[in-house]
Homo-oligomer: A and B are copies of this chain.
Amino acid sequence: MATIKEVSLLARVSPATVSRVLNGTTPVASATRVRVLEAVEALQYKPNAFARGLATNRSGGIGVTVNAVSSPFFGAFVAGVEQVLRPAGIHLMLSSGFADLANERESIEFLLERRCDGLIVQAERLDDGFLVDLVRGPTPVVIFGRRIAEIADACVVTDNELGGRLATAHLLDHGHRRIGHVTGPLAFPDARARLHGYRRALEGAGVAYDERYVVESTFDEEGGAQAAVRLLERAPELTALFLSNDQMAAGAMRALRERAIEIPTDLSIVGYDDVFLARYLTPALTTIRQPLVDMGRTAAHLLLGRLGHIGEEVVHRFDPELVERQTVARVAA
């Protein structure tokens, strides 16, 4: 692969001049400029990013770690990030953490070693302390999906408690009083916040919080299916279920259908996330939407600001909103 020196030879100028033409750092006489460009074209010259990075100490790319690039949930977020970074001429280096501590750490180190100019991090397992250190380190970092008090202005989050309240309030509004809740693993702050919102909404409406109506499970279909069944066996008087994400809701719907429980006639259901599949379920799932694309855009803007680009004013906390579809019915009188 051609080097800047070969180009300079062919164009009969110094390497420095080639560099100047390519980077536009200093004016260059248009005649020489043309010669250089021609030589570049002729040699199919592409600057060596290593050498450039070594010289400038910048990579021209920013790193993004999310739990799983392949998940539709994070996909939407990444799409938002890409929307604003592309036009700014910044490229993305993606890396999946797969909800594994070692993986998450490695991913970040990998990106850091490549001297990413900045980092957008969504991590499930890494502890707050690690992230605080990261944010306070030399590389600009934005955290997605987790609010850490010490570094709140580097975090982009939605208000999960509000989301839990919205979901529950929606059911209360439809006359439900015996509302079950399937939480995600309570090790996750998101799951805890949603549970908390559920509880607050209940108590705000004068409905006593009942432990028997709550069960913890995993954030997947199987988790939703099993928990829903268990909950209904334990408390058949339930008229509605709020599940901590859409996959769980999908699993619950399947399991309940197999048991001839009609939705929403016999039981109302609300999910969380408004994942792609929510609208395809039958009946279509009423759920809580997080503005993921917007959040991605915001995270990118925030990072851009930290990178010294002219910043925009930026919202750090987004409000989730209810998406009403077909899984909630007014409770039978």
| Interface core residue of A59, A76, A79, A112 (most chain B CB under 10 Å) | A79
Q: Find out whether the CB atom of B46 lies under 8 angstroms from the CB atom of A112.
A: yes
| Interface core residue of A47, A54, A61, A109 (most chain B CB under 10 Å) | A54
A50 at interface by CB-CB < 8 Å: yes
Contact among B46, B138, B277 for A276, CB-based, below 8 A: B277
Closest to A72 in B: B72
Q: Find out whether the CB atom of A113 lies under 8 angstroms from the CB atom of B47.
A: yes
Provide the bound-state CA to CA distance between A109 and B82, in Å. Answer: 17
Which B residues are CB-close (under 8 A) to A112?
46
A95 at interface by CB-CB < 8 Å: yes
Q: Shortest Cβ distance from A252 into chain B, in angstroms?
A: 13
Q: Find out whether the CB atom of B82 lies under 8 angstroms from the CB atom of A96.
A: yes
Which B residues are CB-close (under 8 A) to A76?
70
Q: Find out whether the CB atom of B109 lies under 8 angstroms from the CB atom of A46.
A: yes
A49 at interface by CB-CB < 8 Å: yes
Q: Find out whether the CB atom of A54 lies under 8 angstroms from the CB atom of B50.
A: yes
A48 at interface by CB-CB < 8 Å: yes
Binds B, one of A86-94, A154-162, A166-174, A187-195: A86-94
Q: Shortest Cβ distance from A131 into chain B, in angstroms?
A: 16
- Given A79-B70, A280-B281, do A50 and B53 touch, yes or no (CB 8 Å)? yes
Contact among B48, B114, B138, B281 for A1, CB-based, below 8 A: B138
Contact among B46, B51, B75, B110 for A54, CB-based, below 8 A: B51
Q: Find out whether the CB atom of B70 lies under 8 angstroms from the CB atom of A75.
A: yes
Q: Shortest Cβ distance from A41 into chain B, in angstroms?
A: 14
Which B residues are CB-close (under 8 A) to A53?
49-50
- Would you list which residues of chain A between 184 and 240 have a CB under 8 Å from chain B? none
Which B residues are CB-close (under 8 A) to A79?
68, 70
- Given A69-B94, A76-B70, do A49 and B113 touch, yes or no (CB 8 Å)? yes
Which B residues are CB-close (under 8 A) to A50?
49-51, 53-54, 59, 114-115
A78 at interface by CB-CB < 8 Å: yes
A14 at interface by CB-CB < 8 Å: no
Provide the bound-state CA to CA distance between A54 and B54, in Å. Answer: 8
Closest to A82 in B: B96
- Would you list which residues of chain A between 60 and 85 have a CB under 8 Å from chain B? 61, 68-72, 74-76, 78-79, 82
Q: Find out whether the CB atom of A78 lies under 8 angstroms from the CB atom of B82.
A: no
Q: Shortest Cβ distance from A276 into chain B, in angstroms?
A: 7
Interface residues of A (CB under 8 A from B): 1, 46-51, 53-54, 59, 61, 68-72, 74-76, 78-79, 82, 91-96, 109-110, 112-115, 138, 250, 276-277, 280-282
In the complex, the 10 A-B pairs of residues with the closest C-beta atoms, listed nearest first:
A70-B75, A282-B282, A50-B53, A94-B94, A50-B54, A49-B113, A49-B114, A50-B50, A280-B280, A70-B79
The contact sample of 25 A-B pairs, CB cut-off 8 A, is A46-B109, A46-B113, A48-B54, A49-B50, A49-B115, A50-B51, A50-B53, A50-B54, A50-B114, A50-B115, A69-B69, A69-B75, A69-B78, A70-B74, A70-B76, A70-B79, A71-B75, A72-B72, A72-B75, A72-B276, A91-B95, A92-B94, A250-B280, A276-B277, A281-B282
